[in-house]
Amino acid sequence: MQTQTATAILHHQQLSMFKTTPSTIIATGSTKSYQKKSPCRSLFFPRPPAAAAAKKTSGARASSSSSQKIEEEEEEESFIGQTYSATNSSANRRRWRRPQNVDGDFFVDHTCIDCDTCRWMAPQIFTRVGDMSAVYKQPSSKEERLKALQALLSCPTSSIRTEQPAQDILEVQKTFPIQINEQRIPGVYHCGYHSEKSYGAASYLIIHPEGNILVDSPRYTERLASNIETLGGVRYMFLTHKDDVADHEKWSKRFRCDRILHSKEVEFSTADVEIKLEGNGPWDLGRDIELVYTPGHSEGSVCLFYKPLKTLFTGDHLMMNETRLSIGERYNWFSVPMQLKSVSILVELDFEWILPGHGRRAEFKDYKEKNSVLEAFLAQN
Ligand SMILES: [Zn+2]
């Protein structure tokens, strides 16, 4: 009874109010006790400047055991651009050049998990051959080399390599996060650095005057974190669903941001996320962001709708494949009919961009075009 009342009140209510409702704070699978949040906390409340917060966190990190892990990650990154030993162990053989690559500096090795990231980030260079990616054309311009190296850094399994150490890799690291379309959706970035823990899903950064939002989790690297810090840090980390949470804990510690995840998606590793959504929503995040409940791919999948830029962040709810819209049916963990039903509610929303976790982006001319594509998809499914 209490939950029903709470849910009814919370539809279209500010998340700050949401956070004060005891029934929304659950501890599924965890024995941790939660402290009740103070009442009437405004949603975007002032924080110490990002740099100061980061300095504090970074100081704490240096004296904690997590520093070793972070150093290990930096080390892992330093392998980039270097060749592997030719020792004939099975682990090393997986790191060898696939014969499907064209000759030249860049190549994909046998550890590729076919996540498609390099193929949409640098379609001039990478294609699919067999069930993995391969280089079909070596970069021949500065722009192509930049794209190839961005894909190399974003590959979740570090399966893209170069024969010669890439001397310009540090410069390319500075280009993340990558602005998606400065004219149409300024301040929306692709984070790159996909994580194998998120099955290679994409994550995004929204620059917002009331506090930036990280949508899903990139692989944690201090270089990306410091670039994000330059852009104002992170106030919220919105997690679309349980699959794409990767290094959420490290990001949360680094920026002291509040993580948001639907309670039906909470698992052991996410038991202590700060904000657990309950019920069917929608929920408002600030003045111009709506969180839309779209169950189906998983039980508690939620999309983030950034209204001013008409952009919908869909997680694994809806995406493009190479030619058309898709719900990634092969990877449905909960209910395909429910996922399709959740697609149908998107007809009501005025968006022109779909930025997914897996799969490719969709960009529509306007609301009308979006709906004709959406309706055609629904009619076929
Ligand atoms: Zn998923």
pLDDT tens-digit series, residues 246-274:
999 999 999 999 999 999 999 999 999 99
Helix 50-62 vs helix 248-255: crossing angle, to nearest 10: 120
Name which residue leads in pLDDT, 82 or 277. 277
* Ligand 1 center–CA 92 separation, angstroms: 30
* Ligand 1 center–CA 216 separation, angstroms: 11
| Domains of the chain (ranges, CATH numbers) | 50-56+176-380 (3.60.15.10), 81-165 (3.30.70.20)
* Ligand 1 center–CA 7 separation, angstroms: 25
242 with 265: CB under 8 angstroms? yes
Q: With b meaning 16 or more CB within 10 Å and e meaning fewer, what string describes 61-82?
A: beeeeeeeebeebeeebeebbe
User: What value does the mean pLDDT take over residues 93-108?
Assistant: 93
Select from 337, 335, 330, 300 the least CA-distant residue to 315. 300
* pLDDT tens for each residue of 347-356: 999 999 999 9
Q: What is the pLDDT of residue 22?
A: 28
Name which residue leads in pLDDT, 79 or 327. 327
Q: What is the pLDDT of residue 12?
A: 42
CA angle 178, 181, 186 (to 5 degrees): 90
Query: Is pLDDT above 50 for 5?
Result: no
DSSP three-state, residue 209:
coil
* Ligand 1 center–CA 63 separation, angstroms: 35
Q: What is the pLDDT of residue 136?
A: 98
Query: Is pLDDT above 60 for 339?
Result: yes
* Ligand 1 center–CA 47 separation, angstroms: 32
161 with 151: CB under 8 angstroms? no
Q: Beta-carbon neighbour count of residue 167 at 10 Å?
A: 8
* Ligand 1 center–CA 241 separation, angstroms: 7
* Ligand 1 center–CA 355 separation, angstroms: 14
